[in-house]
């Protein structure tokens, strides 16, 4: 039995459940090992290989979630800061939501990987989370999900309604521009040019009025053009103005790898920035500052050559 063709979609599923790319990879590998050990007990008359693998993966995720804290973004923990000069102190004790390096996998339904939705999923009870993803994203039937969760169809449908209601109270279902949409690409190109030029007024002109900037694992975050611009002025004052920026792929959203100038010359990867573009403007920038080197390795685009 060949389970490898299912690896990419299983990693994406476990990521939606856990909010961690590396934990998702680990649990997918665990799923593959469990399936291989149990291959002689697989009954093709009861379920397809894919359905069987998702049952194993779901059980692995639910077991993992019993002992793991949810993974938030800074904006999920409190009010925005009104001090663009506040200390940038990481909070390593918080298990932060991680970006998903989609270029590593051939993953469908990328819109359902977007950060706001994955962050909202983390607020749901684990079984509701599983029901919502299995039914709404992966399009299993209620009967299949009931089998995977060892419960009834009625219980599955009830959990789905509660999960939908919880998500509807947030902002995770709002319209987000697709990365390859021409208008979105144009906005991202202008943002990249302004960033590389350290042109803060140009950056601010590309923002919505209440644009959000957050930087896990730093717990503070900002809302609004004014504070976003003041913070960017601080960044360029601290780290210099000769940044390089390259496009990467993350969470079904436009994303950038930002390379800071090094004192001795050259550039080093500093952040991956995942943008939410709506109505021709940047509405949110989640700037992943890499305290965890494993996240860096997951993207690891090479440093761009000097122009």
Query: Is residue 235 located within the same domain as residue 292?
Result: yes
Q: Order across the sheet with 218-223: list the strands.
A: 218-223, 207-215, 281-289, 267-278, 253-261, 244-250
Q: Do the domain assignments include residue 54?
A: yes
Q: Do the domain assignments include residue 274?
A: yes
Percent pLDDT > 90 in the chain is 74
User: Pick the residue with more confidence: 303 or 187?
Assistant: 187
Q: Assign 47 a pLDDT band (cuts: 50, 70, 90).
A: confident
Per-residue pLDDT tens over the stretch 177-208: 677 889 999 999 999 999 999 999 999 999 99
pLDDT at 30: 97
The whole-angstrom separation of Cα 160 and Cα 124 is: 11
Query: Is residue 193 located within the same domain as residue 290?
Result: yes
User: Pick the residue with more confidence: 130 or 291?
Assistant: 130
pLDDT at 175: 61
CA 175 to chain centre: 16
Query: Is residue 163 located within the same domain as residue 186?
Result: no
Query: Is residue 141 located within the same domain as residue 192?
Result: no
pLDDT at 125: 94
Q: Do the domain assignments include residue 144?
A: yes
User: Pick the residue with more confidence: 93 or 303?
Assistant: 93
Query: Is residue 242 located within the same domain as residue 161?
Result: no
Query: Is residue 11 located within the same domain as residue 147?
Result: yes
Q: Do the domain assignments include residue 257?
A: yes
- Residue 252 domain boundaries: 182-299
Mean of the pLDDT values across residues 230-257?
93
The whole-angstrom separation of Cα 75 and Cα 214 is: 7
Q: Do the domain assignments include residue 106?
A: no
Range in 22-31, 264-273, 284-293 with the lowest mean pLDDT: 284-293
- Considering the entire predicted model, what is its pTM? 0.91
> Does pLDDT of 115 surpass 80?
yes
Query: Is residue 192 located within the same domain as residue 163?
Result: no
Q: What are phi and psi of 58, to 5 degrees?
A: -65, -45
| Contact (Cβ atoms closer than 8 angstroms) between residue 16 and residue 121 | yes
Percent pLDDT > 70 in the chain is 92
Tokens 């959203």 identify what position?
253
Mean of the pLDDT values across residues 239-259?
92
pLDDT at 194: 98
Query: How many domains, the chain?
Result: 2
**Mean pLDDT across the chain:** 90
- Cross-strand partners of 207: 282
Residue 148: name the closest of 40, 50, 65 by CA: 50
> Does pLDDT of 36 surpass 80?
yes
The whole-angstrom separation of Cα 132 and Cα 200 is: 41
CATH of residue 260's domain is: 3.10.450.50
Query: Is residue 149 located within the same domain as residue 238?
Result: no
3-state secondary structure of 250: strand
3-state secondary structure 77-111: CCCCCCCCCCCCCCCCCCCCCCCCCHHHCCCCCHH
Query: Is residue 193 located within the same domain as residue 162?
Result: no
Domain C-terminal end among 136, 168, 200? 168
| Contact (Cβ atoms closer than 8 angstroms) between residue 137 and residue 109 | yes
The whole-angstrom separation of Cα 225 and Cα 86 is: 17
Query: Is residue 46 located within the same domain as residue 119?
Result: yes
- Taking each helix axis from N to C end, the angle separating 49-65 and 21-37, rounded to the nearest 10 degrees, works out to 130
pLDDT at 87: 93
Q: Do the domain assignments include residue 268?
A: yes
pLDDT at 264: 86
Q: Do the domain assignments include residue 81?
A: no
Per-residue pLDDT tens over the stretch 127-168: 999 999 999 989 999 999 999 999 999 999 999 999 999 888
Range in 2-11, 68-77, 101-110 with the lowest mean pLDDT: 101-110
Q: Do the domain assignments include residue 77?
A: no
User: Pick the residue with more confidence: 179 or 9?
Assistant: 9
CATH of residue 154's domain is: 1.20.140.160
The whole-angstrom separation of Cα 131 and Cα 125 is: 10
pLDDT at 295: 72
Domain C-terminal end among 168, 196, 212? 168
pLDDT at 304: 63
> Does pLDDT of 173 surpass 60?
no
The whole-angstrom separation of Cα 105 and Cα 8 is: 5
Query: Is residue 186 located within the same domain as residue 288?
Result: yes
Query: Is residue 60 located within the same domain as residue 144?
Result: yes
pLDDT at 102: 82
The whole-angstrom separation of Cα 25 and Cα 31 is: 10
Q: Assign 94 a pLDDT band (cuts: 50, 70, 90).
A: very high
Instruction: Quote the Cα angle for 31-35-40, to 5°.
Output: 170
Q: What are phi and psi of 92, to 5 degrees?
A: -65, -15
Tokens 């102190």 identify what position?
89
Phi and psi based region of residue 202 (left: phi greater than 0; alpha: psi -120 to 50; beta: remaining)? alpha
pLDDT at 80: 96
């Amino acid at each position: 039995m060949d389970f490898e063709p299912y690896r990419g979609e299983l990693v994406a599923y476990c990521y939606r459940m856990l909010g961690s790319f590396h934990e998702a990879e680990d649990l997918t590998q665990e799923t593959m090992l469990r399936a291989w050990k149990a291959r002689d007990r697989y009954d093709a008359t009861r379920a397809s290989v894919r359905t069987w693998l998702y049952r194993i993966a779901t059980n692995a995720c639910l077991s993992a979630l019993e002992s793991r804290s949810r993974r938030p973004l800074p904006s999920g923990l409190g009010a925005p800061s009104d001090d663009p000069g506040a200390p940038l102190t990481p909070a390593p004790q918080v298990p932060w939501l991680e970006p998903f390096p989609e270029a590593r996998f051939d993953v469908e339904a990328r819109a359902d990987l977007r950060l706001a939705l994955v962050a909202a999923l983390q607020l749901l009870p684990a079984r509701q989370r599983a029901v919502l993803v299995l039914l709404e994203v992966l399009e299993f039937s209620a009967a299949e999900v009931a089998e995977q969760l060892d419960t009834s169809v009625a219980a599955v449908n009830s959990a789905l309604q509660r999960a939908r209601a919880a998500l509807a109270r947030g902002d995770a279902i709002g319209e987000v521009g697709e990365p390859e949409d021409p208008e979105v690409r144009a906005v991202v190109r202008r943002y990249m040019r302004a960033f590389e030029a350290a042109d803060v007024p140009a950056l601010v002109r590309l923002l919505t009025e209440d644009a959000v900037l957050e930087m896990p694992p730093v717990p503070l975050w900002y809302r609004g053009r004014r504070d976003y611009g003041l913070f960017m002025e601080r960044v360029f004052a601290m780290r210099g103005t000769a940044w390089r920026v390259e496009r990467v792929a993350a969470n079904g959203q436009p994303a950038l790898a930002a390379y800071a100038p090094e004192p001795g010359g050259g550039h080093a990867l500093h952040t991956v920035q995942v943008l939410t573009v709506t109505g021709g403007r940047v509405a949110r920038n989640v700037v992943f500052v890499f305290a965890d080197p494993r996240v860096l390795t997951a993207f690891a685009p090479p440093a761009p050559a000097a122009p």
